[in-house]
Structure 1
């Protein structure tokens, strides 16, 4: 185990499964305390928290639906308050909506924009109040933001392209 992130605190949105859980665990292996958000599976989030704690790090699971801006802001503020600071925000939570444009309705568009674009913006804006010198905001994109590899990915590609724009703007 390396300790390059000792005394650092990270928040990983969508950190209870998949890539997010992998990121949360790696941050903990590198010495960070980690908060993570999850939408509905508290048991899965608790498992990741236990794995982080087994590495000797503090961990916190926060239920927050990325489609709810108040929940996203609250998760950032709670992570900083309960873990004492915030050094790293990883915008990882996303929805993967697939379908032809003429098959997708307003609900799918609104959900994708809310979770994949607005939530990272809200989280980044909230994190800026907590991040000190050397703080980092990391956004997990997709190759689909640059190259659509099969039909039906227009909406998802749009959202990931917007995330790239947000990330470049913040940089």
Structure 2
């Protein structure tokens, strides 16, 4: 809270990729707690995504879940455009979505490697590239990585 009762992110709009669970959900909720309206992407469970959105709206903030497979460049760009259209701005992008190829290295397939690279390397770049079209001065991009990925 600031001295006038406003929170640090009042009036800001954030997009958290992979925000339906784990670290992404925690980041989305913290951004809302700090005053931001928050959109999040999810790939699998609409139910989990809607649970996070319900918690965001319970804090008095606007929340929205967008299904987007981060391995799909069209889905990435479409998600950013949809968020910017719905909220009319974008101030914060948190690149959090990630996948890993778990198992013995000799069992990892080329398709699994391609998906890891698409989600963990290409997607954050494409999300940032798309977000910059809508970000206002002072916007922020935060990218989260994992040793598993």
1:32 to 36, 40, 47: 36
Aligned partners of 1:83, 1:131: CA distance in 2, in Å?
12
Equivalenced residues, count: 145
Q: Deviations over 1:35-87 (max 9, x none)?
A: 00000201111110010000000011000001111001111111111011000
Deviates more, 1:10-19 or 1:95-104: 95-104
Partner of 1:106: 110
Partner of 1:57: 61
1:118 and 2:113 equivalent? no
Partner of 1:6: 10
Aligned partners of 1:90, 1:68: CA distance in 2, in Å?
18
Equivalence map 1:8-23=2 (5 Å)? 8-23=12-27
Aligned partners of 1:116, 1:141: CA distance in 2, in Å?
8
Whose RCO is larger (CA < 8 A, sep 6+)? 2
Q: What RMSD over aligned residues (CA atoms) do the two structures have, in Å?
A: 1.2
Decide which structure has greater helix share.
1
Flag structure 1 segments of 5+ consecutive residues without an equivalent. 145-152, 157-171
Flag structure 2 segments of 5+ consecutive residues without an equivalent. none
Decide which structure has greater strand share.
2
What is the deviation of 1:92? Answer: 0.2
Aligned partners of 2:145, 2:72: CA distance in 1, in Å?
20
Partner of 1:132: 136
Deviates more, 1:51-60 or 1:93-102: 93-102
Aligned partners of 2:31, 2:59: CA distance in 1, in Å?
10
Aligned partners of 1:138, 1:100: CA distance in 2, in Å?
31
